[in-house]
A and B are shown apart, each in its own frame.
Chain A
Amino acid sequence: MTAALAAEPAAPLLEVEHLHTYIPTVGGVVKAVDDVSVAVGRGEALGIVGESGSGKSVLARSIMGLLPPKVVRSGSVQFDGRELLTLPTAQREELWGRRISMIFQDPSRSLNPVVKVERQLTEGMRKHLGVSRSEARTRAVRLLNEVGVPDPERRLGNYPGQMSGGMRQRVMIAVALSCEPDLLIADEPTTALDVTIQRQILDLLERLRQTHGMSLLLISHDLGVVAGRTDRVAVMYAGQVVEAGATKAVFGSPRHRYTERLLQATPSLTAARHSRLEVIAGGLPSAMDPPEGCRFAPRCTQADGECTQPGQRWRDTGSSGAEHRHACEHPASTPAPALRGVSTDGR
């Protein structure tokens, strides 16, 4: 990973502040994202981790504005100095795919099964870049080459059903990169893929990010995916960020009790054989009526009365110069039980 941290520019490319995303349902209002602030610098990779249902994917869609009309968002999402929350649809569509791209979890579902690869890959370029059909086709071949799809000329005539999962995700990445966006949002990009393919796709994403100078928002429940490939990370729990900072600092010496438990729950090769995998007892709190104060408190062994005081109280612990903040009343003090089995230094 490069030293993007040290030279963080004054204005980040993406700045999310106090974002709330409330989804009305028949049972009540789901507070899917509840007061989240994160930022992604130019050329930087930010990881968002958390278990299923923690609001990671809704956060990604809230940033994009890719949500049903009944969903209510408040707060602020600044992208390159523009407020996205209030941007009219037509102008959002100008950004989507052009300056902010997104890739999705399941490549077999995010490509249209009845549309040939060629159109799915070229329609964005034709709209955003105004290129001709043949020019778009030439670019498409080049893109497929770049993302490692063999025999691109022939693949353009394929339907997604004629390709493997890994190939489809490469096509999705080619689609996302086709208009040279500034920011790529990858929502669980490798979760649906074989482990061997996961590695290839992540390597590909990283290489492309560096050659294209893109910023990356990488969302994953898999700490290993985020650990080696992001500059900074935010840990989400029950719709909120509970700890954030430089990836090495957060995973190297987690302070929030949730992060600590999450890291302990990661399977490890170095642990003794047949040792029980750590689990976090209990489940996510209700997203309609979350507990006051720290939302992890009901499952936390360290929780006391202070933890249930309303609101999050952030603390800066960026000791060694690295950015690191958390919202834990009783933070883990010992630096480094750390991420077992997952290295933090690149691979």
Chain B
Amino acid sequence: MPRFAMTRLLRGVLVVLMVTFLVVLLMSLAPGSVAAVILGENATPEAIAQLESEMGLDRSVIVQWFSWVGDAVTGDLGTSPVTFQDVSTAIWERLPVTIEIALLALLISLAVSIPLATIAARRPDTAADRGINGLTSVFLSIPAFVAAPVLVYLLAVQTPIFPVTGWTPISEGLGENLRTAFLPALCVALIEIAAFQRILRADLGTTLREDYVEAARAKGMSGRYVLWRHAFRPSSFSLLTVAGISLGRLIGGTIIVEAFFSLPGLGQMVAGAINGRDIITVQGVVAFVAIVYVLLNTLVDVGYGMLDPRVRQAVAR
């Protein structure tokens, strides 16, 4: 692994530690006691105090954090006091759904936005450019709770290509699985398509005005070749950054879309945990999502280096 990837990774570990500390702090600062929630409204103060002591909640925040981190590094994120489920196990059970939706959404977003951005950037201020801009404006302004029923109506009810709701795991067939995953992924992809297209279009527009693009054209290389082989890479930094953040957000769960399509993903799990004041589950998921974010950001940083030799050299120095 290149050295700069190592430094990024170390920095990432620090960030995760800090986030988990904040989560423990959050739990201790939140009004009410977890023990009180578990025991219900009729519990006596003595019983609550005893349970708190059993759960270690009477210790200082620092000690709790060390204890939580100690468990967490072994993969033990605690047990939900509400569902009595092991939090790590619950996350691992729901993760494939969320990851699949997130990756599929990312794939759709890139597959649609990149061609749209390149078409628009090669024809600045033409009808094509403005039309694509208008289209993505529409995508950007449709919230998921509107997009979901509209897409379901069009693609599941009117023309029944996809199922209305529900989830088929990959283990029961990839085709069926993709059919259930496509509409939710498309719903979350709409906004990403708009964001990606705009960012890439703007950066491509800037790059295409660079002298080296003109120089490459002057060599007789075609406009298409110059766009893909000269302009695309230096234009994709912002896209990479935003795509990384988007993927992190999507893996954190897409509550509305998961709820609409009744998908057993992380978003549903967090929503349920928050409603049930199941702080241990919330904490586990937040820590998990923080790790995912850090990993993705590290990957994005590594990606910068792959895109631009100047970044590699700057880090190596």
Contact = CB atoms under 8 A, between A and B. Distances in A.
B137 to A, nearest CB: 23
B220 A98 contact: yes
Interface string B196-234: 000000000000001111111111111100000110011
Given A111-B212, A114-B309, A161-B309, A123 B219 contact: yes
A175 to B, nearest CB: 7
Given A112-B230, A161-B309, A124 B212 contact: no
Select the residue from A96, A98, A101 with max chain B CB neighbours within 10 A.
A96
B310 interface: yes
Contact of A102 (B218, B223, B310): B218
Contacts of A101: 218-219
Interface string A161-183: 11000000000100100000000
A184 to B, nearest CB: 11
Contacts of B230: 112, 115
B82 interface: no
B211 A175 contact: no
A97 B211 CA distance: 16
A119 B221 CA distance: 12
B313 A161 contact: yes
Contacts of A110: 211-212, 214-215
A96 B220 CA distance: 4
Interface residues of B, number: 23
Contact of A66 (B212, B217, B313): B217
B19 interface: no
A161 B308 CA distance: 11
Contacts of B212: 109-113
Contacts of B216: 112, 120, 123
Given A101-B218, A111-B212, 17 more contacts: A90-B222, A93-B220, A97-B219, A97-B220, A110-B211, A112-B212, A112-B213, A112-B230, A113-B309, A114-B233, A114-B307, A115-B230, A123-B221, A124-B219, A159-B310, A161-B310, A172-B215
Interface of B: 210-223, 229-230, 233-234, 307-310, 313
